[in-house]
């Protein structure tokens, strides 16, 4: 639109004041809580509409370390949060049977080794491999070593260099997390409206969302709408016809069956992902139960067989009937369309292999903070928002595809398909650079950094043909001594850490656990 104001006149603010969030659950209440912090109370009215009759998916019970930033902005006390969500701590993900049956590796939170010499630390690991040695990656990263020993501790203030490489996240009950954030948001003035939406009205002049109608006739209008209505995308898709880009040709799992079970004797501080004949099974340990699920391709496995496989591979007695979930990995063609922004499953679905679902809600909200609109809804920042969202989703997509494609397995139809499928050029280029030169080509704004790509590439059997030649410029004896010092520091620090279960018992044990 034209702007004839003088150059030194920035005009009267045209603030968006009424925000309507459609849908609760993790996405809706994360958005409500954060917006209640970012926007001055006197300049906003936030209404969240949800219906108790509509269930939530609730499979996203594992997170990645960036959630600590989200909770910190909200001023959430960690012990209180873990206690009330009956959570546990997470140091990474253990992968079983992905490269081939009987194989396992660990994707840790944190980085390997330390900085010395002219090249990245992993090049020295590659040199040792080339010399016929087989260094255990977990010996060089505290989160991997601690996970292996079922130990956990928070990094202490002023801790040394080993703890500086250490990160962690959480496992928690997603429904309790949503409840926790609801309480937080309502204390800060967010208004919750109970009801089922039966109609969406669009403005005739520009097609923007104008209002939603509830059963019983109540109509709620707004200036900015956030769609957290789940897979159906009530606003972003059903009303605005935004379109969906499916990635099931690369990520072919389109079903999940989930069930909780009784806890195991050892409370492990990591998520487990075990490859099965037509997909993979998750295991997420909480204080009061273990969350389990089988993500699979319905074209290659029947639902009954999937349920049977899951139920045969539980740590304890099931606590509910298995729940079937239809999924479609991919994203909306626009996460932000007109005056409607989609978060969570309304924006798309990234299967939970690397626990990115809650992260994508969080970064969707963070990007909104960077491009928050006024009443003009200038399309330029909206376009930039959509570009950044698309970039992030596509880089995460590539990382997930790596797990499936880089495998030696061809023992089932599913794994043969994954091993031989075509992959995006962006992923192929990363893999080839690592295969041929041992170099990790990761852009600064990608979610998964060099340590993550290294863990999965080596774990899945992508072994470089050579290492960086500058590695040989560093004295071999000195190199070995420094690497031995790192191993020793990691081992000694791990031995001083408490068991994961003991840490929780002393600091954040849930007040009462369900029977």
Rounded (to 5) percent helix, strand, coil in the chain: 40, 20, 40
> How far apart, in Å, are the Cα atoms of 389 and each of 336, 446, 447?
9, 11, 12
H-assigned helices in 134-254: 142-148, 174-187
Please give the mean pLDDT across all residues of the chain: 93
Of 90, 127, 334, 338, the catalytic one is 90
pLDDT tens over the chain, length 515 residues = 444 444 455 556 789 999 999 999 999 999 999 999 999 998 899 999 998 866 555 554 899 999 999 999 999 999 999 999 999 999 999 999 999 999 999 999 999 998 788 899 999 999 998 888 888 999 999 999 999 999 999 987 666 678 888 999 999 999 999 999 999 999 999 999 999 999 999 999 999 999 999 999 999 999 999 999 999 999 999 999 999 999 999 999 999 999 999 999 999 999 999 999 999 999 999 999 999 999 999 999 999 999 999 999 999 999 999 999 999 999 999 999 999 999 999 999 999 999 999 999 999 999 999 999 999 999 999 999 999 999 999 999 999 999 999 999 999 999 999 999 999 999 999 999 999 999 999 998 999 999 999 999 999 999 999 999 999 998 999 999 999 999 999 999 999 999 999 999 999 999 865 44
Task: In whole angstroms, give the CA distance from residue 478 to residue 327.
Answer: 52
DSSP states of 303-354 as a string?
HHHHHHHHHTT-SS-B-S--EEEE---EEES-SEETTEEE-GGGTEE--GGG
Task: In whole angstroms, give the CA distance from residue 275 to residue 470.
Answer: 37
- Give 475-498 pLDDT, tens digit per residue: 999 999 999 999 999 999 999 999
9 CB-contact burial (10 Å; exposed 0-12 / middle 13-18 / buried 19+): exposed
Q: Which candidate, 343, 359, 361, places its Cα nearest to that of 400?
A: 359
Task: In whole angstroms, give the CA distance from residue 33 to residue 173.
Answer: 18
Catalytic, 90? Answer: yes
Where in 262-309 does DSSP place strands (E)?
271-276, 279-285, 290-296
Let me know: does 21 contact 364? Beta carbons within 8 Å. Answer: no
With b meaning 16 or more CB within 10 Å and e meaning fewer, what string describes 32-44? bbbbbeebeeeeb
Task: In whole angstroms, give the CA distance from residue 305 to residue 169.
Answer: 33
Q: Across the strands, what pairs with 331?
A: 245, 348
Q: Break the chain into its structural domains and give their ranges.
A: 18-61+173-244+330-377, 117-164+396-504
Task: In whole angstroms, give the CA distance from residue 462 to residue 98.
Answer: 12
* 18-61+173-244+330-377: CATH number: 3.50.50.60
Contacts of 305 (CB under 8 A, 6+ apart): none
Radius of gyration of the chain from its Cα atoms, rounded to whole angstroms: 24
454 CB-contact burial (10 Å; exposed 0-12 / middle 13-18 / buried 19+): buried
- Give 272-316 pLDDT, tens digit per residue: 999 999 999 999 999 999 999 999 999 999 999 999 999 999 999
Say which DSSP state 248 is in. T
């Amino acid at each position: 639109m034209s702007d004839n104001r003088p150059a030194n006149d920035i005009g009267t603010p045209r603030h968006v004041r009424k925000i309507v969030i459609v849908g609760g659950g993790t996405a809706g209440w994360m958005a409500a809580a954060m917006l209640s912090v970012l926007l001055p109370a006197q300049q906003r009215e936030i209404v969240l509409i949800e219906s108790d009759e509509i269930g939530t998916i609730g499979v996203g019970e594992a997170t990645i370390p960036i959630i600590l930033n989200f909770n910190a902005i909200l001023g959430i006390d960690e012990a209180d949060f873990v206690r009330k969500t009956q959570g546990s701590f997470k140091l990474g993900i253990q992968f079983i049977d992905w490269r081939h049956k009987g194989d396992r590796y660990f994707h840790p939170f944190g980085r390997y080794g330390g900085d010395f010499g002219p090249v990245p630390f992993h090049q020295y690991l590659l040199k040792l491999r080339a010399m016929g040695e087989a260094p255990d990656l977990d010996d060089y990263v505290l989160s991997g070593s601690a996970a292996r020993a079922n130990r956990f501790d928070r990094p202490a203030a002023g801790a040394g260099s080993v703890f500086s490489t250490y990160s962690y996240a959480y496992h928690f009950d997603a429904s309790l997390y949503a409840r926790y954030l609801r309480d937080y948001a309502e204390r800060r003035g967010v208004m919750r409206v109970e009801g089922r939406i039966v109609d969406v009205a669009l403005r005739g002049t520009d097609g923007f969302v104008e209002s939603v109608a509830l059963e019983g006739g109540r109509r709620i209008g707004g200036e900015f709408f956030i769609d957290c209505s789940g897979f159906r995308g009530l606003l972003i898709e059903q009303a605005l016809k935004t379109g969906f880009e499916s990635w099931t040709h690369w990520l072919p799992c389109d079903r999940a069956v989930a069930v909780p079970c009784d806890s195991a004797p050892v409370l492990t501080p990591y998520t487990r992902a075990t490859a099965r004949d037509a997909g993979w099974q998750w295991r997420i340990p909480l204080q009061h139960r273990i969350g389990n699920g089988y993500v699979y391709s319905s074209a290659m496995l029947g639902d009954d067989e999937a349920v049977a496989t899951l139920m045969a591979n539980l740590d304890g007695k099931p606590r509910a009937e298995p729940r079937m979930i239809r999924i479609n990995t991919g994203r909306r063609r626009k996460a932000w369309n007109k005056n409607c922004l989609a978060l969570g499953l309304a924006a798309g679905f990234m299967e939970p292999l690397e626990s990115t679902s809650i992260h994508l809600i969080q970064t969707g909200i963070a990007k909104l903070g960077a491009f928050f609109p006024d009443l003009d809804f200038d399309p330029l920042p909206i376009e930039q928002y959509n570009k950044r969202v698309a970039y992030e989703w596509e880089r995460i997509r590539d990382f997930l595809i790596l797990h499936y494609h880089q495998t030696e397995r061809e023992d089932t139809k599913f794994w043969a398909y994954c091993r031989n499928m075509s992959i995006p050029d962006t992923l192929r280029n990363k893999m080839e650079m690592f295969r041929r030169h041992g170099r990790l080509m990761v852009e600064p704004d990608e979610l998964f950094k060099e340590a993550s790509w290294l863990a999965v590439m080596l774990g899945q059997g992508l072994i470089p043909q050579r290492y960086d030649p500058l590695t040989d410029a560093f004295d071999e004896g000195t190199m070995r001594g420094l690497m031995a010092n790192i191993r020793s520091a990691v081992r000694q620090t791990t031995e001083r850490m408490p068991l994961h279960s003991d840490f929780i018992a002393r600091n954040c044990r849930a007040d009462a656990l369900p029977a």
